[in-house]
Structure 1
Amino acid sequence: MSQWNARVSYRAGETIIRQGEQGDCAYVIESGRVEIVLEKPDGRQQRVGTRGVDTMIGEMALVDDAPRTATVRALEDCCLLRISKEDFSRRLLQADPVLRLTTQVILNRYRDILTTAEIASQDRSAPAEALERGHAERGQVIEGIRLCNDLRAALENDGLELHYQPIVSANDGALRGFEALMRWRHPVDGLIPPDVFIPLAETSGLIIDVTRWAIHAACAALSRLKAALGRDDLYVSVNISSADLASQTILNDVWLALKESGLERGQLHLEITERMLMDQPERARAVLRAFRMLGVVIALDDFGTGYSSLGYLNSLEIDVLKIDRSFIAAMNGDQRSLELVRAIVGLGKSLGLQVVAEGVETSTEAEGVARLGFDSAQGYFFARPRRECDIAADVRRPAQSLELRVSAR
């Protein structure tokens, strides 16, 4: 779990950081204002600066084990976002090597400057604060910290939800299953797109918890949908990340979700990407093999958009190929794209894989994927993602409508 997302509050006059104490975290000021005070050996105190909203205090604790160099007190009631040394170190290790080295050198030299400068006689608070705030605004760092903190709260307080997009037979429109797609409706900012909050979850370390929740929620939902629709042959597909694949808990998380929901073999699909296979091929082989033993179906998502390697299709435990929307859209009116998609479908079939078309949005595309021999398809042409409570009423209409289109082509 990420250790950087705690929100803490202090009243005016309270001490937040005490000079000489050991520190293990820094804080970003979300609201309020603080003063920074040097306590001299003779007992006198001298204010050397103040800090306000969107600035950081206690930052040197993130890079060394030296005692705190100053006392920080709240001038007003304050709300702070905590960043732990553990989380900072993990992020630094994941950074580009050049960036990592540069960051460490700059931070260490900053420490040297602070310890040698006669800061007691110089009031540098205003320029430093202005510089920090300007940097935060340019890089949107503070906003990212806030959203990560709110994402943790959403995860703990049922603030996330799954919507389910039907996956249908490309030939006759019969319902085959669903892809579970995550949604976050922020209480202040409204609907936050997955392409915003999923990367935040990955960089903050929250993605393991988010995926665990998604797998459990999707399995439980499918169990209920099977009963509501009177169908025992449906499946649900959930996306996982590279961090999930490397997690020591992923197998147990999946096993527990299957056990609690009572799903049968083949009814949980997990979607991975080509990049995940490239990043950690040996780990991928071991985990995918273990998934197979649990009865989980593995789908290779967005095939053709990453570092495609035909060797992976043969050597890894892959069951389903999901062809990216960009290929589906390009094949109409472009003969080369059409032949490429035809070749990919043929390759998948020859390897015994199910082939799914993603992002089908028009009747022309739907008819095209049916003619090319795709097994299944999904996209707005068939149905938009729906909440679980809407599925029972909605999924039959797209399937029947598609059946009329297909039979009439």
Structure 2
Amino acid sequence: MFEGLERITYQSGDQIFQEGDVSNCAYLIEGGGVEISIQREKQPFRVSILTVGDLFGEMALIDKQPRIATATALDETCLVRISRDALEDKLTKVDPIIEHLLRLILRRFRKTHYRLTQKDYLLPEDADQVTDVDFDRTQENMIVHVRIASDIIDALSRNEFELHYQPIYSIKDNRIVGFEALSRWHHPVYGIMSPMQFIDIAESSDQILSIGLWVLEKACADLKTLSEEYEQSPLFVSVNISARQLANAEHIAKFIGVVEQAGVDPACINLEVTETMLISELDYAQQTLSSLQEQGFMISLDDFGTGFSSLSHLQKFPVNMIKIDRSFVRQMLLDHDSMQIVKASIGLAQALDLETVAEGVENEDELARLAELKCDY
């Protein structure tokens, strides 16, 4: 299997590579053992001990970032050297989904490495145990990640998704005026999953496009039923729309077609976008959202106050309402800073003739205070 590959022998204590070195190859252990360590406060801390059959340094086969750890031979150690050049051609021919998953795994490893090196609260004698646990957990998470990325491809055809609805309540009119559509995935292994557990994976591929259309179709159909049940009209329904959806002109055309075919007034569809997404995808987001708003869709800015909020962003983008993040709403009666953020958000919205939605209201005291501040929903 490894015929023709270079073999290198290291003696006990020899460094195979050092943290920060330029990466260009991985190693398979044929004999001996290797210690993997990281630097924290200029001191080496052991991450793991590798033995015969283990592969290490494999991140260098996929990206060109510097080494994130140091590898040292524990005794006389024979290694098979696997160069990036040997695999580069194969990697370019691999399924794009697989290549993307590999890069996501690398990103997860690198984030974990950074987090571990920042753990100033660890005592040196505890470092081995804690870092081992963290890396084991990371490996488990990656297995779950790969499983989800694979299973999400057929989840729609297996009818594993469903929508739940959170009422949107008009404080002034004292009635329900709309609903927020919340997707849930009934995974056959991991049970009920919220979007926080799978949406990033979906957004990393075109799966988010299929899921987005399904959510809209279901929400449009359910809106008619909800309107009849509550005997109130017009109700609106809020659905999330991602950067990948906004960037795909063909998808947006289908998106509009779904609403038209369902016979729903676009004014009854509220598209929720995050401010972080707007800032990162500034150009096409502004243009696409403006077009959707001109056709009657409402646009709301989700999780307001948690990202890069500024007056210029609210002026620049076609927004009808802002949603004040639940983290501020839940703490506003207990924490002065949270109350000031809620007040400022509502005041800013009023100055710009925008409506406000307070997320996560749980009791009458919170509702009464929001009414005093003239929050809309």
Contact 1:63 1:85 in 2 (8 A): no
Matched residue, 2:89 = 64
Q: Would you say 1:328 and 2:329 are equivalent positions?
A: yes
Calculate the aligned-residue CA RMSD, in Å. 3.4
Contact 2:320 2:354 in 1 (8 A): yes
Structure 2 vs 1, CA of residues 84 and 249 (structure 1 numbering), >3 Å: closer, same or farther?
A: farther
- Give the CA deviation at 1:368: 1.1
Q: Which moved more, 1:249-258 or 1:153-162?
A: 249-258
- Give the CA deviation at 1:350: 1.4
Matched residue, 1:157 = 158
CA distance in 2, matches of 1:161, 1:243: 21
Contact 1:62 1:89 in 2 (8 A): no
Matched residue, 2:13 = none
- Give the CA deviation at 1:314: 0.9
SS where residue 233 of structure 2 aligns?
coil
Matched residue, 1:344 = 345
TM-score, structure 1 normalization: 0.60
- Give the CA deviation at 1:239: 1.0
CA distance in 2, matches of 1:94, 1:334: 38
CA deviation vs aligned residue, 1:247-291 (integer Å, no higher than 9, x gap): 233321321121121111310001001111111111111111111
Matched residue, 2:372 = 371
CA distance in 2, matches of 1:231, 1:63: 60
Q: Which amino acid aligns with 1:225?
A: L
Structure 2 vs 1, CA of residues 148 and 62 (structure 1 numbering), >3 Å: closer, same or farther?
A: farther
CA distance in 2, matches of 1:62, 1:135: 27
CA distance in 1, matches of 2:217, 2:356: 26
Gaps of 5+ in 1: 1-49, 51-58, 68-82, 101-133, 377-409
Structure 2 vs 1, CA of residues 285 and 92 (structure 1 numbering), >3 Å: closer, same or farther?
A: farther
CA distance in 1, matches of 2:153, 2:228: 32
Matched residue, 1:173 = 174
Structure 2 vs 1, CA of residues 268 and 324 (structure 1 numbering), >3 Å: closer, same or farther?
A: same
- For these two proteins, the number of residue pairs brought into alignment is 274
Q: Which amino acid aligns with 1:181?
A: L
TM-score, structure 2 normalization: 0.65
Contact 1:62 1:85 in 2 (8 A): no
- Give the CA deviation at 1:244: 1.8
- Give the CA deviation at 1:88: 4.0
CA distance in 1, matches of 2:268, 2:275: 22
Contact 1:320 1:354 in 2 (8 A): yes
Structure 2 vs 1, CA of residues 62 and 173 (structure 1 numbering), >3 Å: closer, same or farther?
A: farther
Matched residue, 1:215 = 216
Matched residue, 1:44 = none
- Give the CA deviation at 1:351: 0.7
Structure 2 vs 1, CA of residues 220 and 66 (structure 1 numbering), >3 Å: closer, same or farther?
A: closer
CA distance in 2, matches of 1:150, 1:336: 43
CA deviation vs aligned residue, 1:51-88 (integer Å, no higher than 9, x gap): xxxxxxxx999741599xxxxxxxxxxxxxxx943224
Q: How do 1:239-388 and structure 2 match up within 5 A?
A: 239-376=240-377
Structure 2 vs 1, CA of residues 216 and 62 (structure 1 numbering), >3 Å: closer, same or farther?
A: farther
Gaps of 5+ in 2: 1-52, 54-61, 63-83, 111-134
Structure 2 vs 1, CA of residues 290 and 263 (structure 1 numbering), >3 Å: closer, same or farther?
A: same
CA distance in 1, matches of 2:91, 2:190: 39
- Give the CA deviation at 1:172: 4.2
- Give the CA deviation at 1:220: 1.6
Q: Which amino acid aligns with 1:64?
A: D
Percent identity at matched positions?
A: 37
CA distance in 2, matches of 1:199, 1:178: 23
Matched residue, 1:87 = 97
- Give the CA deviation at 1:331: 1.6
Higher relative contact order (CA 8 A, sep 6+): 1
